[in-house]
Amino acid sequence: MSFSLNIFILSCLFFIVSAKNHTANYEKECEEYDRYLKEFQKKYSVDEKNRRLKYFMRAQRKIDLWNGEAMNVGGKAKFGHNNFSDWSPKELRALMANQKWTTNQAEDDLVSLRLVQLLPSNMTYSANDSTIFIDWRQKGMVTAVKNQGGCSCCYAFAAVGAVESALAIAGQPLRNLSVQEMLNCVGGGCRGGAPYNVYKFIQQNGIVLDTKIAYTGKRQTCTIKRSNITISQAPALRGEAALEGFLNATGPVSVCFKAPWSFIKYRTGVYAPNPTECNKTKTAHCVLAVGHGVDGGVPYWILKNSWGLRWGEDGYARFIKGQNACGIENRSANGPIVNSN
Ligand SMILES: *[C@@H]1O[C@H](CO)[C@@H](O)[C@H](O)[C@H]1NC(C)=O
Ligand SMILES: *[C@@H]1O[C@H](CO)[C@@H](O)[C@H](O)[C@H]1NC(C)=O
Ligand SMILES: *[C@@H]1O[C@H](CO)[C@@H](O)[C@H](O)[C@H]1NC(C)=O
Ligand SMILES: *[C@@H]1O[C@H](CO)[C@@H](O)[C@H](O)[C@H]1NC(C)=O
Ligand SMILES: *[C@@H]1O[C@H](CO)[C@@H](O)[C@H](O)[C@H]1NC(C)=O
Ligand SMILES: *[C@@H]1O[C@H](CO)[C@@H](O)[C@H](O)[C@H]1NC(C)=O
Ligand SMILES: *[C@@H]1O[C@H](CO)[C@@H](O)[C@H](O)[C@H]1NC(C)=O
Ligand SMILES: *[C@@H]1O[C@H](CO)[C@@H](O)[C@H](O)[C@H]1NC(C)=O
Ligand SMILES: *[C@@H]1O[C@H](CO)[C@@H](O)[C@H](O)[C@H]1NC(C)=O
């Protein structure tokens, strides 16, 4: 124990001596970084560690800021360190779809054979309880949380996740399908894209199991293998009420929203981003809505992310519902449907 303590102190001393300029907090933050590296089992060369320490310190300050009231409107979310705390801004950008935010819903409709009617989104929640209205995980209809790594392909994980659930709900086995096939064959690969392109591809060609084309996180040559695993349609759902109706009655839905940086540091609670922060961002992030509920009077969506199990609430987030937070209803959500006859 004293041995590891010595190593720990030595490594921080090294930083303090080698740093050109540091604040009074430097030593403390450096020690915290060492603890962090241990907890997340990361090992770096001295140079890389020195470089990443400043990203970690920046993350630390952001977490303190976001845990304050002002950036956490209406919700009770907590922010904290995770595997991304010492990633560079460039690496962090890859977590998001890296796709310019647009509200061109006409594009989303390409894949739809029909458009589900826009329902009023002025539902009120007076209850001050904690209730889950629907959670498709509890019904065994959602595959395990995946990890996209450094590839900007959340749109593919969101759409494929929705298809995995739709097939299981239609009575087929719950199986992991090939996100990699979508990366190889659809749209922008690791440079971002939109779920509707994935649905369109699956409608036309089907999708293979992930054991056939395993995830590498890099775009590779597209070889379309025809598959009878397919969907019949993926209607665009306009408005949070339409999304709720589909979730209640049919199954999980892929959704995209303007991705605020604080989402990366989300740990637990109902995430309720400050509209100012949403407005600042220009990129979209796509995830899979698998349910909804209300916690202490605050309604939320249950969102399955593709950033691994150690992010958020075991890979999931609860995201405030009913206020079009971060424009969640400005791009159409899509819920795939499987013909059961
Ligand atoms: C060193 O840190 C101080 C206090 O944070 C700051 O005012 C100063 O500009 C920094 N100097 C350099 C060279 O970064
Ligand atoms: C955590 O981040 C490191 C890079 O800092 C990466 O190599 C590793 O794959 C990540 N692990 C998970 C589970 O995301
Ligand atoms: C919701 O909006 C509709 C149409 O604007 C209105 O008729 C209805 O009364 C509203 N419901 C509530 C609960 O405010
Ligand atoms: C899907 O893949 C995950 C690993 O990413 C694995 O843990 C899980 O068992 C697989 N699920 C199914 C239904 O095969
Ligand atoms: C797809 O084809 C396989 C045989 O190649 C068959 O076992 C399976 O039931 C078919 N699945 C569907 C959804 O038709
Ligand atoms: C969804 O289900 C919940 C709980 O049963 C219900 O309160 C709500 O009105 C439903 N919403 C829609 C749009 O059907
Ligand atoms: C965010 O942007 C929307 C649309 O441009 C605007 O209506 C709204 O006032 C902005 N909100 C804030 C807090 O800046
Ligand atoms: C309502 O929820 C809040 C936040 O969880 C809690 O502090 C408060 O005691 C609750 N009130 C009632 C009447 O249950
Ligand atoms: C976003 O959606 C809201 C609610 O549906 C709507 O009032 C607003 O005009 C939309 N904004 C854009 C830019 O499409």
Q: Would 23 be classed as within a structural domain?
A: yes
Closest CA to 295 of 75, 86, 88, 95: 75
Q: What is the DSSP letter of 263?
A: G
Structural domains of the chain, count: 2
Domain finish residue from 73, 107, 128 = 73
Atom of ligand 9 nearest to the CA of 105: 14
Output phi, psi for 268, to 5 deg: -160, 165
Q: What is the mean pLDDT of residues 92-115?
A: 56
Q: Is the pLDDT of residue 74 over 70?
A: no
Confidence of residue 68 (pLDDT cuts 50, 70, 90): confident
Give the CATH number, domain containing residue 298: 3.90.70.10
Active site residue 81: no
Residues 62 and 136 in one domain: no
Model confidence over 260-303: pLDDT tens digits? 888 999 998 899 888 888 888 878 899 999 999 998 888 999 99
Which has the higher per-residue pLDDT, 212 or 99?
212
SS3 call for 261: helix
Q: Would 84 be classed as within a structural domain?
A: no
Which has the higher per-residue pLDDT, 8 or 272?
272
Of these ranges, 106-110, 152-156, 276-280, the one predicted with the greatest mean pLDDT is: 152-156
Residues 311 and 230 in one domain: yes
SS3 call for 325: helix
Atom of ligand 3 nearest to the CA of 124: 13
Residues 154 and 268 in one domain: yes
The residue whose CA has the least distance to atom 4 of ligand 4 is 144
Q: Is the pLDDT of residue 177 over 70?
A: yes
Options 184, 285, 326, 330, the catalytic residue: 285
Output the CA 128–ligand 8 centroid distance in Å: 6
Rounded-to-integer distance, Cα 290 and Cα 299, Å: 14
Residues 106 and 27 in one domain: no
Q: Show the domain range for 50.
A: 2-73
What is the distance, to the nearest Å, from the Cα of residue 145 to the centroid of all Cα atoms in its chain? 10
Q: Is the pLDDT of residue 2 over 70?
A: no
Q: Would 133 be classed as within a structural domain?
A: yes
* Residues 6 or more apart in contact with residue 325 via CB below 8 angstroms: 257, 272, 273, 275, 278, 319
Active site residue 190: no
Confidence of residue 77 (pLDDT cuts 50, 70, 90): confident
Q: How many CA atoms lie within 13 A of 168 on its CB side?
A: 20
Q: Would 163 be classed as within a structural domain?
A: yes
Model confidence over 48-66: pLDDT tens digits? 998 999 999 989 888 888 8
Options 154, 185, 278, 326, the catalytic residue: 154
Q: Is the CB of 296 under 6 A from ligand 8?
A: yes
Give Rg (Cα) of the chain. 21
Residues 20 and 133 in one domain: no
Tokens at residue 47, please? 């140079």
Q: Is the CB of 128 under 6 A from ligand 8?
A: yes
Tokens at residue 144, please? 């395990």
Task: State residue 318's pLDDT score.
Answer: 94
Confidence of residue 168 (pLDDT cuts 50, 70, 90): very high
Confidence of residue 222 (pLDDT cuts 50, 70, 90): very high
Atom of ligand 7 nearest to the CA of 274: 13
Residues 316 and 188 in one domain: yes
Q: Ligand 2, from 33, 38, 42: best to mutate by most atoms within 8 Å of Cβ?
A: 42
Task: State residue 53's pLDDT score.
Answer: 92
Q: Is the pLDDT of residue 8 over 80?
A: no
Q: Would 340 be classed as within a structural domain?
A: no
Residues 61 and 115 in one domain: no
Q: Would 109 be classed as within a structural domain?
A: yes
Task: State residue 335's pLDDT score.
Answer: 92
Contact 277, 151 (CB under 8 A): no
Residue type, 334: N
Task: State residue 35's pLDDT score.
Answer: 92
Model confidence over 17-52: pLDDT tens digits? 445 555 556 777 788 899 999 999 999 998 999 899
Atom of ligand 8 nearest to the CA of 130: 5
Rounded-to-integer distance, Cα 236 and Cα 337, Å: 11
Rounded-to-integer distance, Cα 189 and Cα 218, Å: 8
Domain finish residue from 73, 104, 134 = 73
Q: What is the mean pLDDT of residues 170-189?
A: 94
Q: Would 80 be classed as within a structural domain?
A: no
